[in-house]
Each structure stands twice: as structure tokens, then as C-alpha cells.
Structure 1
Amino acid sequence: MTELGPVTWPPAPITTERLVLRAPEARDRATFIELLASPDVHAYLGGPRQRDELEREVPAVPEPWPGSFVVERDGLMIGQILVRRVTEHRNEAALGKVDLGYLFLPRAWGHGYAAEACAAALDWVDACLPGEPVVLATQTANARSMRLAAKLGFTEVERFRAWGADQWLGQRPPRTPAAPHVP
């Protein structure tokens, strides 16, 4: 996965009803480590990483690379949204498209935060990269992620097997921001 192209990064923070999507900051380091070390978060992502390894590898200020949004609620990081152009994938249908990914702490599950944050990130994609289709891949066994993909308007492109599990690839049709109303 690489940069998104001619997108200014980082963008101004994106505010929703309950959340803020923003670039990573030094205060987010511990939460990044918690996300990456969580067996619950990584149950469908190949398993967690070792905390001591992460303590050594995660920089003091998490790298603010294009497409990586911290999801903040009440001043605290609760997750991450990833928006990246697919340059490598087990499924050719995804190549060259914008990919949406997300990780949320288990304590943030079940409150609609992922749907709210992903919808805001998709609106950002629509504004910055109008007409671009967006893909999302998840394990078919991940019922929460499958429901979220449907709620966000992704429809199945195909199923495939990778990383020892059945995978689902969905795509959201290209959208352009609504044109201003002219009376």
C-alpha cells in the first residue's frame, strides 16, 4: 500500500457528532501499542503482535503517513481508520483502488463509532478523490465487519481464500461530492 496521490496530508481534523478524525500525535503511542497487541482486535487479522516488540518499534510520535486517521472520542484515541491505495493484494480486483481499513479498541465496540468514523473517512475520500471506488476486505467469519461493510454501502465483489481463512472483498461505487444547489 502506498500514498493516495495528490492529497494534502494531514488534513484538518474531521469532526463528526461524537468523534474527531485527526493525524497521530505523541499522546497516541500507548493506544497504538494497545491496538496492535490486542488479541481481540487482531482475532481476524493474523493475531496480535508482542507488546515488548511493539514497545521497541513504535516511535515516540506515531508516523503521520497519508491515510492514517486517529479516531478520538472525548479527547482519547479509540481507534484508527486507514485509507490507502492498494498496490499489493491477494485479490486483483482490489489493485489500484482506495482501500478502507479500521481498528477499534474492544471497549469502543458496539457504540456505532466505527460506522460513524468510517462514514466520515469515506466522505473525505469522496471530497479528495472524487469518482474513486473504495474497497474493503475482511474475513467472512468477522460478522461485525461484514455488517459494517454492508451498512457503509459495500457490496460483494468476490470471496477468496487467503492467510488460511475465507475472505470477502467488497466495493463501494465511486461517488462525487454533491454539487451545490443552484436556485
Structure 2
Amino acid sequence: MEIPVIDTARLRLRGHYPSDLGPYLAMWQQPAFYQHLTGKPMPEEEVWTKLLRHLGVWYLCGYGFWAIEEKATGDFIGAVGFGEWQRNLTPSIKGFPEVGWVLAPHAHGQGYALEAAQAALAWGDAYLPVARTVCLVDIGNLASLRLAAKVGYQEIERVLYKDISVVLLERFAPAQLS
């Protein structure tokens, strides 16, 4: 399977490279990055496993996560895409691609997350096997909740996932709204 490359005005969404490990590991050591994800730093072994998951879901599901590369510098600054994580959650979201995005703290506030999310969702609207996608956001992550709303996600309900309060949101591809 060849992972599609998506170019936006300022970003390139691409499959992960082994060289992404260093900058991704550095992100996972910053409280501003992990506070709404795991609440703690992630060791190298787990970050590597996360990169492998991002790639592997492409091969199992036909969709997955892209690395976000800043075109001006060529730097890896985050990840965006869709997963199927088999979460033990009520209501069940199994079978629905789960969108997600993470961005290095130094890249916050520049509109990169919106640009990347819009590009990923445009691809998803054209190629995902179902019209509905879902999103889980930590209840305290106001920036991600605002971004989710900007790209069309609506809250379904608030649930506990692994003892963390999260907002479960959904979005339907625009062609399916009528």
C-alpha cells in the first residue's frame, strides 16, 4: 500500500520515516504536548510503537495517520489522520475511523492544525469506506475541541475512557448530509 502524500499551502502530509522518531520523542517529553494525551511523557519504545501503529493502520484499514511536515523547513511537526483503535468504549465507535491530530508545541497558534485537519478530512471524505468519522478529545483540551468544531465535529456525549473524561464527537462527510 502506498500512503498518499497531500500537499497544502504550508504543509506536506506523508507517511512516517524512521527519522521522525527523534522529533516525535522530543514532543512526547514536553508537558504542553502530552498533558491532554497521556498526562505523562512517553518513552522511546512507546513512541516508536506509536509510529508503527500510524503506519500499520494504513495496511489493515486502507487509511491511517500522516506525518505533518512543515514545507518551509522540512521539519516533522506532528501527525494527523484516522485510526481504528478497537477502543473499549460505550457507546462503541468500532468500525468508524477515528480522526486525530497532534502538533509540536512550537508549531501551535499558526493555523497548522486546522490546515492539516482540513486536508486529512478532505481526503477522508473522498476515500474512507464510511461517511461517519468520530473523534475523542480530552474534556480540558479546549484548543482541540475548538478545532474539532471548526472542521465540522459535533458532540455526541461525554464519556470516561481509561478514567479520563473525554468528549466523543462525530462528523459526517458533506455528501452524506442530505
For normalisation by structure 2, the TM-score amounts to 0.82
Question: Does the CA contact (< 8 Å) of 2:21 and 2:48 recur in 1?
Answer: yes
Letter in 2 for 1:147: R
The one-character-per-residue Cα deviations of 1:61-88 (angstroms, maximum 9, x if unpaired) are: x533321200011211111113112422
* Cα distance, 1:121–1:47 mapped onto 2, change above 3 Å: same
Determine the C-alpha separation between the residues in 2 that align with 1:71 and 1:45.
18
Alignment of 1:21-60 (within 5 A): 21-50=13-42, 53-54=43-44, 58=48
Residue matched to 2:2: 9
Q: Which range moves more in the overlay, 125-134 or 16-25? A: 125-134
Determine the C-alpha separation between the residues in 1 that align with 2:46 and 2:81.
23
Cα shift at 1:167: 1.1
Alignment of 1:71-110 (within 5 A): 71-73=68-70, 74=72, 75-110=74-109
* Cα distance, 1:48–1:9 mapped onto 2, change above 3 Å: farther
Which structure dedicates a bigger proportion of its chain to helix? Answer: 2
Q: Secondary structure at the match of 1:156?
A: strand
* Cα distance, 1:162–1:72 mapped onto 2, change above 3 Å: same
Q: Which range moves more in the overlay, 168-177 or 121-130? A: 168-177
Q: Secondary structure at the match of 1:10?
A: coil
Report percent identity of matched pairs. 30
Question: Does the CA contact (< 8 Å) of 1:46 and 1:163 recur in 2?
Answer: no
Determine the C-alpha separation between the residues in 2 that align with 1:9 and 1:57.
23
Question: Does the CA contact (< 8 Å) of 1:153 and 1:172 recur in 2?
Answer: yes
The one-character-per-residue Cα deviations of 1:7-46 (angstroms, maximum 9, x if unpaired) are: x4312x1001110000111331211211222221110112
Larger Rg: 1
Shift >4 Å, 4+ stretches: none
For normalisation by structure 1, the TM-score amounts to 0.80
1:119 paired with 2:111, answer: no
Number of corresponding residues: 165
Letter in 2 for 1:49: P
